[in-house]
């Protein structure tokens, strides 16, 4: 299978090309430069592999939640590419991608990814790693204050993402002994979007370009609190 994935929902901007189990990636932490960098990253990956966009089986993108502008950039770019090449798209949760990256780097099997959602809230979900070495969500994605996010049952959980850096004290107090570690600076990576998208494609989760939509989790994401 050949699949190109992009991710721009956090401060990091990245693109990854999955070809029959092997992944190449271009990754840069470049706040406010995603729009300028993502297309050249995609083009360079395809050129390095000697492929045209139309030769791929599918595209994938981090569909949010995350930075409002970043998620919009990824959505617009992937929709344009998918329309032009007539390819299906696999939307992947950025929370899942962050959890997958933490597992890939640290080996943790119970992961609580969280992004700072501003307005005193965070984007939050719980994931466990199954036998296929891919994360599976436990419960639902949510946006809530740190005092109200749903906590998972069991022990051995690790917190990851900027939400933990912002609301460290409250979340640690609420989790108690169930929490074993925190990595508050980790950002999403397109290669983890690609890994999850391969599973999603096989499961029939690919959609047409016009249905590749962002997920914000909050209707008032663009508004400021009174």
Query: pTM of the predicted model, to two decimals?
Result: 0.95
pLDDT band at residue 225 under the 50/70/90 scheme: very low
Per residue in 148-177, pLDDT tens? 999 999 999 999 999 999 999 999 999 999
Q: What residue ranges define each of the domains in the chain, with the CATH number in brackets? A: 2-93+189-211 (3.30.420.40), 94-183 (3.30.420.40)
Average pLDDT over residues 117-129: 97
Residue the block writes with tokens 């090309």 = 17
3-class secondary structure, 187: coil
Partners of 22 in the β-ladder: 19
Rounded CA-CA distance 112/152 in Å is 9
């Amino acid at each position: 299978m050949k699949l190109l994935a992009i991710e721009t929902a956090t401060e990091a901007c990245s693109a990854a090309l999955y070809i029959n189990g092997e992944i190449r990636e271009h990754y840069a932490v470049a706040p406010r430069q995603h729009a300028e960098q993502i297309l050249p990253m995609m083009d360079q990956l395809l050129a390095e592999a000697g492929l045209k966009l139309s030769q791929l089986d599918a595209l994938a993108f981090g569909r949010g939640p995350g930075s409002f502008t970043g998620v919009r950039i990824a959505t617009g770019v992937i929709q344009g590419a998918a329309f032009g090449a007539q390819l299906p798209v696999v939307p992947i949760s950025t929370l899942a991608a962050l959890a997958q990256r933490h597992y890939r780097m640290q080996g943790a099997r119970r992961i609580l990814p969280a992004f700072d959602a501003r307005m005193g809230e965070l984007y939050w979900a719980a994931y466990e790693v199954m036998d296929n070495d891919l994360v599976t969500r436990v419960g639902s994605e949510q946006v809530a204050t740190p005092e109200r996010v749903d906590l998972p049952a069991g022990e051995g959980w690790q917190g990851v993402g900027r939400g933990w850096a912002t609301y460290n004290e409250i979340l640690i107090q609420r989790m108690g002994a169930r929490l074993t570690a925190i990595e508050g600076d980790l950002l999403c990576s397109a290669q983890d979007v690609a890994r999850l998208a391969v599973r999603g494609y096989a499961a029939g989760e690919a959609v047409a370009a016009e249905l590749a939509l962002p997920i914000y989790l909050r209707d008032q994401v663009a508004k400021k609190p009174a």
